[in-house]
Amino acid sequence: MTVLLSLSAYAQQEEEKKEPPSEGFNDTLRRMQIKRAEEEHKKLVKSSKQAAEIASTLLQNSNGTKLDRGAEKKLKEIEKAAKQIRNNIGGSNDDKDFVVPKTLDDAIKQLEETSKTLSQQMEKTSRQMISATIIVTASDMLRLIKILREYVN
């Protein structure tokens, strides 16, 4: 028991001897964090653009009542981008004010419009901005993808 107490006291003394990090170190650390956040934001903007481009090609994979199997891969890519964006901004699942499309073509067109809107909104925001409209738009995209999966062969 005395050995444990002496080890604990020794560890506490060693902790007290350590010097706090210098200002230069803290500044460098902050700059690195800012740079990482900026790079992450650029990746999100890029993935939102890619999702919009992929969504615009989905109509080609449709025969009016069903989507071909290649559409599933495209839907997964769009879903991944929408989830990344929504989660990074701090959003969660929300079912308010969502209008369910009646046909496959309407769903594809709505996904295309929503993904373009998301891409435009992402380009306008900074890495420090939390946008409720982006969260809602990303959530709408995820709901549309869920609906479109029902049309895949």
* 23 against 1, higher pLDDT: 23
- Tell me what percent of the residues of the chain surpass a pLDDT of 90: 13
CB neighbourhood size of 99 (10 A) = 9
Rg (CA), the chain: 24
The domain limits of the chain are 23-149
As a whole number, mean pLDDT of residues 90-101 equals 71
Convert the pLDDT of each residue in 10-66 to its tens digit: 666 666 666 666 778 888 888 898 889 888 889 988 999 999 999 888 877 777 778
Residue 10 class from Cβ within 10 Å (0-12 exposed, 13-18 middle, 19+ buried)? exposed
Kindly state the greatest CA–CA separation across the chain. 80
What pLDDT score was predicted for residue 4? 46
4: its two tokens:
């444990």
